[in-house]
């Protein structure tokens, strides 16, 4: 049973998604299709993805692709990409006041790196610092970053946008940009995906 939701007759959406999923990507990226949302657009496709190095998950997230041939005013187009990026950073990031700006740069630089032209680009970056006290004081502090990003592709070529989402995951995981199928050896910061992520539906 297919997990995508294609509107009958939406051949442009099928062709765009097929071409996107056949494009090469980083060798440290793993992904799988998941059921797409049913009420956000006539056609939708969704996947989860992770960046893994030496069997350790550094960052994870979700991508939803929406298509409405009639267009939607809030999108300024017929396509909409809705992405979630999550990673757990080292405790030093708890006092990094510019983390939101850094997270935003991961978004914009990833899109620029892959020549993914966009309209109506927006992002919310949330930092959650967890500290334990009393009987739990021995637990290490954790810093989670969660980014919710949405944008409208400028055309029907979705491959650059899929690659940009992967690059966002890699950046959140502390990895530099890498050419397709080449995995970098050492993260620039020690990050890992949250152990039990439970994000709300992206919008």
The lowest-confidence range among 17-21, 77-81, 123-127, 197-201 is: 197-201
Run of H or E including 166: helix 159-172
Number of H helices, E strands in the chain: 3, 6
Q: Give the total residue count for the chain.
A: 203
Q: Answer whether residue 153 shows pLDDT above 60.
A: yes
Res 5: pLDDT: 52
Ramachandran area for residue 80 (φ above 0: left; ψ -120 to 50: alpha; else beta)? beta
Parallel/antiparallel/unpaired status of strands 118-130 and 56-72: unpaired
Interval 26-77: pLDDT, tens: 889 999 999 998 888 999 999 999 999 988 899 999 999 999 999 999 999 9
Which DSSP string corresponds to 109-125?
HHHHHTT--EEEEEEEE
Instruction: Give the tokens for residue 105.
Output: 């740069």
Which residues make Cβ contacts (< 8 Å) with residue 167, sequence separation at least 6? 106, 109, 110, 113, 114, 177
The model carries a pTM of 0.80
Cα torsion for 57, 48, 151, 38, to the nearest 10°? -160
């Amino acid at each position: 049973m297919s997990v995508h939701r294609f509107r009958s007759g939406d051949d442009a959406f099928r062709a765009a998604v097929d071409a996107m999923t056949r494009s090469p990507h980083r060798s440290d990226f793993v992904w799988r299709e998941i059921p797409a949302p049913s009420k956000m657009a006539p056609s939708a496709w969704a996947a989860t993805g992770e960046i893994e190095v030496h069997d350790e998950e550094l960052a994870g997230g979700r991508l939803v692709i929406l298509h409405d041939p009639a267009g939607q005013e809030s999108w300024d187009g017929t396509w909409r990409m809705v992405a979630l990026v999550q990673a757990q950073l080292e405790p030093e990031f708890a006092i990094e006041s510019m983390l939101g700006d850094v997270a935003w740069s991961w978004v914009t630089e990833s899109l620029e790196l892959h020549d993914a032209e966009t309209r109506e680009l927006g992002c919310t970056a949330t930092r959650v610092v967890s500290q334990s006290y009393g009987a739990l004081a021995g637990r290490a502090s954790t810093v989670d970053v969660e980014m919710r990003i949405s944008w409208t592709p400028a055309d029907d070529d979705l491959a650059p946008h899929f690659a940009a989402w992967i690059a966002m995951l890699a950046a959140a995981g502390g990895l530099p940009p890498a050419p397709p199928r080449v995995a970098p050896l050492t993260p620039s910061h020690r990050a890992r995906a949250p152990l039990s992520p439970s994000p709300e539906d992206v919008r």
